[in-house]
Chain A
Amino acid sequence: AQSVTQLDSQVPVFEEAPVELRCNYSSSVSVYLFWYVQYPNQGLQLLLKYLSGSTLVKGINGFEAEFNKSQTSFHLRKPSVHISDTAEYFCAVSRNFNKFYFGSGTKLNVKP
């Protein structure tokens, strides 16, 4: 089985500062990796996904993530955040696109 750990439940950051949201996963097999964002009172939206190939994946809204197989990590980064990035971010893994396992989420709070 797969599992996902998001160590930071909340991350406060000032506007225009860089941010990194951490995600570690455990799996005995190769997996596909995802980051989703959830704005208040909305469903989850896909930010980016890693299927294969380059370990640096670029997504929407200026976010990117780097797959590190040796550290079993898939951290999400943005060089300069905006107020509008305030939301909850979920890391997810899937082995075969049947079951998706989600982390507990990280609330990003961007302050002016």
Chain B
Amino acid sequence: DAGVIQSPRHEVTEMGQEVTLRCKPISGHNSLFWYRQTMMRGLELLIYFNNNVPIDDSGMPEDRFSAKMPNASFSTLKIQPSEPRDSAVYFCASSNRRGNNSPLHFGNGTRLTVT
């Protein structure tokens, strides 16, 4: 089991640029979550998907943020245009909601720095 895989691990970009973060959930998991972690706000849920369908995106801060899950093995979180206040660590997590209640399994995160 390779776990949840996120790329890139680090991203440094200039304000105004488009940023795309990628996530590969654990094979067989059917729920996927995007979180943002900052010192000030802690862990915030941005959006989650069940069976590739966005269920709740109420945590997405602004229209500059968008997330997609085109298939069960891939998801992206895009920020366009990026701003310095978007600097944070972004985590992807997955779980298996079929049958047994499954906790979250996190990736190692993408540290985003917007200058």
Q: Which residue of A lies closest to B102 (CB)?
A: A97
Is there contact, CB below 8 Å, between B48 and A97?
no
List the count of A-B residue pairs having beta carbons below 8 Å apart. 49
| B45 contacts A41, C-beta separation under 8 Å | no
Given A32-B101, A46-B104, residue A98 in contact with residue B55 (CB < 8 A): yes
Q: Which of B4, B42, B104, B107 contacts A100 (CB 8 A)?
A: B104
Name which residue of chain B comes closest to A52, CB basis: B101
A positions within 8 Å CB-CB of B: 32, 34, 36, 41-46, 49, 51, 90, 97-100, 102-105
Taking CB atoms, residues of chain B closer than 8 Å to A34 are 103
Q: Are B104 and A44 in contact (CB under 8 A)?
A: yes
> Which B residues lie within 8 Å of A42 (CB)?
108-109
Q: Does B75 contact A (CB under 8 A)?
A: no
Q: Check B56–A98 contact: CB distance below 8 A.
A: yes
Interface, chain B (partner A; CB < 8 A): 4, 31, 33, 42-43, 45, 48, 50, 55-56, 91, 93, 95, 97, 101-109
Contact in complex: B108, A98 (CB < 8 Å)? no
Taken together as a complex, chains A and B put the C-alpha atoms of A100 and B50 apart, in Å, by: 14
Residue in A closest to B55 when the chains form the complex, CB atoms = A98
Q: Which A residues touch B104, using CB under 8 A?
A: 36, 44, 46, 100
Q: Which 9 A-B pairs have the closest CB atoms?
A: A43-B106, A102-B43, A44-B106, A104-B42, A43-B108, A46-B103, A43-B107, A97-B101, A42-B108
Within the complex, the shortest CB–CB distance from B109 to chain A, in Å, comes to: 6
* A residues less than 8 Å from B4 (CB atoms): 43
A43–B43 contact, CB under 8 A? Answer: no
CB of B23 to closest CB in A, whole Å: 11
Q: Chain B residues near A98 (CB, 8 Å)?
A: 31, 48, 50, 55-56
Given contacts A41-B108, A51-B101, A100-B45, 13 further A-B contacts (CB under 8 A): A32-B101, A36-B106, A41-B109, A43-B91, A43-B106, A44-B93, A90-B43, A97-B97, A98-B31, A98-B56, A99-B48, A100-B104, A103-B42
